């Protein structure tokens, strides 16, 4: 099977985007532009955009900062939390360093306690996320979003008008649609790029700070990839894999490497790195802007929700649309929510979709590469 390989500069560009944005965010700060950092897909970035701030995703997936964090935090907790705190306490993340505010959320107990410690040396605002996607939960989350809006108004001495929020909602939706259009290329069989190349684009796009340019940039990339695909169609077929589970970062992409070095191709990421964070749009026809924001964000199918029917629905739809042959779930060590929910995910994939499933428990180190290789290669051989 031959994928599109004549456009390496595109994938390299997105691979280097995070590094380039380190310098870019400094320029924004020097020009007086506020920066608001966050870790989670539940962060309503439209409100940050409405006050004229740059919303940025904070560093959270390097094994290098885990050791730093373990000088304070317990060693047996989630590596995502340890890496995040290690970056924060050591000032190794420029996005964190230049953030005026860090917005947290009550997704899991570990992160809640991390935010407590972090507030000793940074302005931290924590949103209280309901754990049920019910009418009552939606009402609570709408109030939380309004409370966050009022906090931003007071902090930045600005009045957030409905027009500001509408403009931010529209731009965010345009960005999501552009990601969806690019992502949709992987429905082609064979796909026009590898999962690693898709991951480079998705991960790098998180650090495109000029949000006005994102749709044009992604659409141009999509057109170039599709043009090359049509000109030189790939041949052959490999098992098509969907990755689900915990959020993926640079270091945890090792699973993609193992899959694609041993005969598979990753066509979809259901976790926060991929389709989960982009699948839903904010209803621009809803006159109640804060209800529209609340509904869009609360409906994200994260394992912290109980029950989590929205994740199961998204998994089923993605498996069908992307012609998935097998599912691999990545669970970070110490992530109890994803670990327990993997039982429901496995049962759904086996009993409803009738395709193979496996889970791997890992961290951000390279210590388990040999074990991952043995298990994943055996899984692919079965397919």
**Measured distance CA(380)–CA(259) in Å, rounded:** 8
Q: pLDDT-derived band of residue 13, with 50, 70 and 90 as boundaries?
A: low
Of the listed ranges 75-89, 110-124, 246-260, 324-338, the least confidently predicted one is 246-260
pLDDT single digits (tens) 190-213 = 999 999 999 989 888 888 999 999
pLDDT of residue 1: 45
**Measured distance CA(361)–CA(183) in Å, rounded:** 26
pLDDT single digits (tens) 254-299 = 999 999 999 999 999 999 988 999 999 999 999 999 999 999 999 9
270: Cβ contacts below 8 Å, ≥ 6 apart: 242, 243, 244, 276, 311, 314, 315, 318
Greater model confidence, 248 or 129 = 129
What percentage of the chain has pLDDT greater than the value 90?
88
pLDDT single digits (tens) 145-158 = 999 999 999 999 99
pLDDT of 129 > 70? The answer is yes
pLDDT of residue 11: 60
pLDDT of 6 > 70? The answer is no
Whole-number mean pLDDT of the chain?
94
Please give the average per-residue pLDDT across 313-324, as a whole number.
98
Query: For the purposes of burial, counting CB atoms within 10 Å of the CB of 290, is it exposed (0-12), middle (13-18) or buried (19 or more)?
Result: buried
pLDDT of 380 > 70? The answer is yes
Task: Say whether pTM exceeds 0.85.
Answer: yes
């Amino acid at each position: 099977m031959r994928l599109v390989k004549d456009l390496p500069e595109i994938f390299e560009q997105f691979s280097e985007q995070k590094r380039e944005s380190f310098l870019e965010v400094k320029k924004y700060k020097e020009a007086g532009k506020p920066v608001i950092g966050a870790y989670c897909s539940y962060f309503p970035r439209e409100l940050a955009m409405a006050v004229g701030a740059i919303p940025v995703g904070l560093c959270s997936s390097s094994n290098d900062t885990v050791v730093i964090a373990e000088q304070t935090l317990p060693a047996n907790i989630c590596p995502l939390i340890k890496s995040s705190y290690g970056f924060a306490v050591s000032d190794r993340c420029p996005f964190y360093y230049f953030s005026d505010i860090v917005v947290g959320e009550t997704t899991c107990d570990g992160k809640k306690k991390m935010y407590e410690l972090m507030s000793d040396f940074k302005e931290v605002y924590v949103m209280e996320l309901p754990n049920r996607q019910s009418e009552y939960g939606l009402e609570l989350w709408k109030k939380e979003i309004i409370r966050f809006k009022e906090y931003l108004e007071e902090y930045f001495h600005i009045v957030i008008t409905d027009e500001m929020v509408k403009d931010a909602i529209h731009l965010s939706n345009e960005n999501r649609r552009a990601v969806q259009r690019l992502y949709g290329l992987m429905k082609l069989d064979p796909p026009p790029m590898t999962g690693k190349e898709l991951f480079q684009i998705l991960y790098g796009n998180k650090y495109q700070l000029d949000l006005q340019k994102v749709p044009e940039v992604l659409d141009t990339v999509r057109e170039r990839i599709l043009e090359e695909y049509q000109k030189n169609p790939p041949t052959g077929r490999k098992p098509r894999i969907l990755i689900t589970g915990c959020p993926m970062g640079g270091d945890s992409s090792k699973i993609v490497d193992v899959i694609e070095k041993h005969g598979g191709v990753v066509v979809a990421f259901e976790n926060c790195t991929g389709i989960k964070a982009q699948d839903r749009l904010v209803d621009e026809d809803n006159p109640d802007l804060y209800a529209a924001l609340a509904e869009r964000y609360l409906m994200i199918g994260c394992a912290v929700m109980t029950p989590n029917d929205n994740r199961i629905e998204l998994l089923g739809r993605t498996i069908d649309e992307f012609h998935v042959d097998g599912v691999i779930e990545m669970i970070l060590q110490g992530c109890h929510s994803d670990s327990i929910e993997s039982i429901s995910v496995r049962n759904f994939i086996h009993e409803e979709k009738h395709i193979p499933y496996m889970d791997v428990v890992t961290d951000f180190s390279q210590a388990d590469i040999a074990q991952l290789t043995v298990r994943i290669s055996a899984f692919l051989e079965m397919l």
